[in-house]
Every structure is written in structure tokens, then in C-alpha cells.
Structure 1
Amino acid sequence: MTATSPERHPTADTIIVGGGPAGLSAALCLARYNRQVLVFDGGRGRSTHHQVNRNYIGFPGGIATVDLRKRAVEQLADYPGARLSHHQVIGAEGDAERGFTVRSQSHAFTARTLILATGVLDHFPHFPGWERYVGESMFWCIACDGYENRGRRILVVGHTDAAAAEAMQMHSLSDRVQLLTNSHRNEISEVLCRRLRAAGIPVLHDQIRGVEGDQGRLRAVITRGGERLETDSLFSIQGATPETRLAEQLGVELAPTGYIRVDTEQQTSVPAVYAAGDVTSLHSHQVSAAVHEGSQAASAANYFLYPPELKSA
């Protein structure tokens, strides 16, 4: 083996790329099928922020997503067949006949099936210390955090009709809503502009220079034009990019939205490759949906792994 050749690790039944709710749910389900499963968790993603999830049943008062991840990892520790790796996966190749190989900088790992739970990259406004505000007073989802911001000063950030529609929806929760484009472009249609004006929602075509706040709690947003917008909560509607690099390397078909196309069993266009969580859909980015999809993908992968004599057809 040369110095640059990756070290070959033992084969698993399933490799899961992504250690968020979807990936951990899939791992637990597979472990309970007595499968050998290897989960790669790069320590990034939405569930690593300061978010408190209140939409998942069984947790009165909500649970921090980082704590949910921690509990899931502790739960997996009861199953010797489930392993967690913090290697960053940089490549994937293979097919259902030969099996799949995923690569980190210095290692290669093989499995018969693959589950992609790689999530999305959110386009949050960037200002000094912006990461500290995510999940505390800077959000991306009205379903997740709108209710807790009833009656508060809400600043919706985005320059498209999607942002304008979100501001209109927020108006059902608070009569103190503003919209800031935070872009050199303003692509909000005249129809939505009229609706915003009718609802009394101010629109400012400007960009963020900085914020006033402490310990993740916003007090005001300062624009490049010198405006000071007092706010309790910022909802970023600047879009997100699905993390599909590995899917594309494997030849997996993407939907027109750029997300991974899956069927009702979370099967992608490539046999034995499944996808779960936010990377599969433009909408419904909920922990509950991710957990469901992870479990569904795991069950489908498990069935694929059975020999023919154990399958019903």
C-alpha cells in the first residue's frame, strides 16, 4: 500500500452519510434489524445550532436539537453493530452489484447499501458573530419557530416572493413585521408588493451591515444605508442549497428543485442508494419528517439486504 492509498476498513451492511435526525433514525432502525451500520457525522447541519424543537411529540416544552442528537447517539450505543465516525466523507462510488465505497481524506469504507442524509446548507445573513444567533433569535422556519414569536418584532430577510409570502404569513402571528431584502436585487413581484403594502408590512431594500444583540438575542439590525431596525427575531428566507455532491458522484437523479428525487420508500434512482431528511424535499423540513424518512430508508435498505429466499416477491 502506497503512502497515498486509502486504508481499507471492514465492510458494513449500510453506510449512512449524515448524523442528524434522519441519519440517526436510520441507524437505530438498521441496528434493530441486527445490521452492521456505520454513520458518518461531520458535526454540521441544522441540528447542530441552538435550536429548540417543539414540533416533536413526547417532549413537553421542547428539546434542543443538539440534545436530541446526543440522546440518539447514546441510544445507538446499546447496539454493537452501530458505529459512529467523525470522518468527513469527500467521495462516493459504486453500484448495487459491486457495493459502495465512501472515502475520507485517508480512509475508504465499503458497504452494500448507502443512505444519504446530508441535509442542506442554509444561506443565513452573515455579520460578525452570526452563528451565535441561529436558533436563538435567527430562524429559517415559521412552522418551527413562528408560534414562539407571536406579537414580537419580526424581521423577515429575503429579496424574493418566497420572502414576501413568509412575511405575509408572519403577519398572522404579529402585527410588527418588517421585510429587508438584504440583497442588491429586489425580485419581489408587484402583486406581492401590493399585498405587503395592504398588510402594512414595510419593505426596505437595503443590506445588513451588523446587529445589536447579546448572547444570541437580537435587539436591532443595522443596515448599510444607516437604518436601525429594532427587532426581536429574524427569519431568514434567503434559501438553502441541498448537499447533493455525493449523490451526483453516484449518478443519482435530482428533482428540478435540486433536491434528491426519491420514491415513497426513500429509494433514489440508483438501486441500493436511499436518501432521507431535508436533502429530499424543498419543503417539510421538520425533525419529525426527517426521523420518519430515516426509518423508511432503513427499512427499505434492510429489505434489499435480505437474500432472495427471504423476500416475498
Structure 2
Amino acid sequence: MDTETADLDGTDAAVIGGGPAGLSAALQLARYGRRVIVFDTGQGRSTHHQLNRNYLGFPGGIATKELRTLGVRQLAHYPHVRFAAHRVTAVVGDVRRGFTFQAQGHVWWARTVVLATGVLDHFPHFPDWEQYVGRSMFWCIACDGYENRGRRVLVVGHTDAAAGEAMQLHSLTDRVVLLTNSRKDEISSRFRRRLEAAGVPIVHDRIKAAEGADGRLTAIVTRGGEHLPLDALFSIQGATPETAAVRGLGVRVNAQGYVEVDVEQCTSVPGVYAAGDITAPHSHQVSAAVHEGAQAASAANYFLYPPELKAN
């Protein structure tokens, strides 16, 4: 038996993901006295240069990176929580046998699983694009729309979802432009009429380069030669749920690939729970992730109790 497996035979729960949902789940499980391992690659939305201003209790906002740091520091008070800086590549098993996790040449085992792997955003790619994410390139009007009131906003996307976001942002600023950034332009005539009536131009072109420094975009240059000045870019090019590693579990997903859960964050597989952005295409908020992580942990904890301790 692999030494990692032998050391962790008593692990009650494995949490895959170290963002707000995963850390919240780990904390709640730890406070139930459960032995937990958290797999965290140090990637994902909560590692961007994002200042979260709509999470209650932080009047000046809090950087998502700092929130992660505080969460890890909080969990350090619980010696029965362990972190593994490994990417899980496969998960198999069931509640009868337990769940086995493969990651970078090691094998782990746990009695339950909390999936908190998040999503992969499809941001526009241009030289040094990563430095702008969370500073002047965003994906969420609820998170960053308010701070961009009255500013020059470029919405990037070629679908009605992007057109809808442009219309929503237009309620905060009348300086909105939509750039398709795609060979395709799938915006319906209904939304075209709405954009035209609101004075929101559509530029059907693709990004060639960006102008800016220190994380602050000032303009986008298109392949067709358009120069589009801006203060903020909102990318509405979609996101992909990070479910590849857990497909072996057989959890049910919807048509968009998000893991289906009930009101207690239970998936279709007993002993497997999911929380955070992986569970729905909307409401991707820190507050929602923290709540779902805690709910998933409570459900997992109750599941782990022997029958004689359960009321039903």
C-alpha cells in the first residue's frame, strides 16, 4: 500500500479545491472533529488580483488572495486538517469501499468527497493578459460592475449572454461597447435591437493586442485596426466547470457540465458533495461559495454518523 494511503486511512473527507468553497467546507468539517485532506493547486478564480467588495464584514473589501490566506491560517488551528498541493487527476470508488484519489504519483483514500474545483474562465488571450485579470479585466457584474459606474466599459463576447451583460452594464454607465472577439456573431436580432436602442455599438472583430500597464487596460486593438479605449473589460466568453478529474465518480451533471446538487449540496452519488462555482452557471459569488461549502460539510458530517445517531 502507498505510504500516503496508509497514513490517511482514517480520513473522513477529501476536499478537492482550496478556494472559498473548499476552505469553508474544510473548516466546518474540522469543527465537527472530522479528519480532512484539502487538495489545493493554488490556482483558480480566488488566486486572481481580485478585490472582493461584496462579501459581508469587510467594509473596504478584501483581496481574494488574502481571503484564501486567512482561511488557511484559520485551518492551521485544527491539526486534523491536512493540505496537499497536488492536482487530483482521478477519483473512483463509492461509500462502501471508500473513495480513492490519484494525484501526481500518489494515492489517497477518504470516506466522503467534497468537490470544490470551480471553473476555468475563457478570458481573452493577448500578451500578458493574466496581469489584468481582477484589476481591469473582469467576468462578473455583481462583483465589479458598481466600481465601473460612468467608466468606459468593453464587453467581450459573441452571444446573447454577452449582449445581456452589456445591457446590464449600461444601467451603470452609458459608455459601453460590445466586441464579439470571435469569427462567429451569434447575437440575436432581439438583442441587437436592444443594444441599438441603448446606443451600445457592436464591433464584430477579434482582439489583436492590448494597451495598458500595471494591470490597468487603456485600449484594445482589433485585427481589423479598431482602437477601442476603455477603463474596464468584462469578459463574457463563458467558463468550463472543472470536472474532468471526477468523471470517474459518475456524478450527474447538467447540459452545461455543472454538477447537479440538491439543497444540501448532495450530488447524485452518495457520499459525494459539491459546492461553489462548479454547481451552477450563475451566482458565482464568494458568499454563495462559503455558504455552499459549509452546507456540503454539514451534509457530509451527518452522512458519516452511524445510524444510531441519526434521527431519520
- Scaled to the shorter chain, the TM-score interval is over 0.9
TM, length-normalised to structure 1: 0.97
2:22 counterpart of 1:23:
yes
Corresponding residue number in structure 1 for 2:102? 103
Corresponding residue number in structure 2 for 1:119? 118
How many residues end up aligned between the 2 structures? 310
For residues 148 and 241 of structure 1, the distance between their equivalents in structure 2, rounded to whole angstroms, comes to 26
Corresponding residue number in structure 2 for 1:285? 284
For residues 49 and 7 of structure 1, the distance between their equivalents in structure 2, rounded to whole angstroms, comes to 31
Corresponding residue number in structure 2 for 1:185? 184
Corresponding residue number in structure 2 for 1:82? 81
Alignment map for 1:191-230 (pairs within 5 Å): 191-230=190-229
CA apart distance, 1:247: 3.1
Contact 1:6 / 1:106 at 8 angstroms: preserved in 2? no
Alignment map for 1:64-75 (pairs within 5 Å): 64-75=63-74
Task: String of CA shifts for 1:252-308, please: whole Å, max 9, x gaps.
Answer: 110122100000110000000000000000100000000000000000000011111
Task: String of CA shifts for 1:206-226, please: whole Å, max 9, x gaps.
Answer: 000111100000110000011
Task: String of CA shifts for 1:179-213, please: whole Å, max 9, x gaps.
Answer: 00000000000110111011000110000011110
Amino acid at match of 2:182: S
Contact 2:90 / 2:246 at 8 angstroms: preserved in 1? no
Amino acid at match of 2:242: E
CA apart distance, 1:7: 5.1
For residues 309 and 44 of structure 2, the distance between their equivalents in structure 1, rounded to whole angstroms, comes to 37
Task: String of CA shifts for 1:210-247, please: whole Å, max 9, x gaps.
Answer: 11100000110000011110000000000000011133
Amino acid at match of 1:63: I
Amino acid at match of 1:155: L
SS of the residue corresponding to residue 30 of structure 2 reads helix
TM, length-normalised to structure 2: 0.98
CA apart distance, 1:6: 8.2
For residues 250 and 35 of structure 1, the distance between their equivalents in structure 2, rounded to whole angstroms, comes to 22
Structure 1 runs (4+) greater than 4 angstroms displaced: none
Contact 1:7 / 1:106 at 8 angstroms: preserved in 2? no
For residues 275 and 195 of structure 2, the distance between their equivalents in structure 1, rounded to whole angstroms, comes to 36
SS of the residue corresponding to residue 222 of structure 1 reads strand
For residues 154 and 96 of structure 1, the distance between their equivalents in structure 2, rounded to whole angstroms, comes to 49
Corresponding residue number in structure 1 for 2:310? 311
For residues 216 and 242 of structure 2, the distance between their equivalents in structure 1, rounded to whole angstroms, comes to 29
For residues 4 and 119 of structure 2, the distance between their equivalents in structure 1, rounded to whole angstroms, comes to 29
Corresponding residue number in structure 2 for 1:174? 173
Alignment map for 1:145-184 (pairs within 5 Å): 145-184=144-183
Amino acid at match of 2:215: G
SS of the residue corresponding to residue 79 of structure 1 reads coil
For residues 296 and 275 of structure 1, the distance between their equivalents in structure 2, rounded to whole angstroms, comes to 10
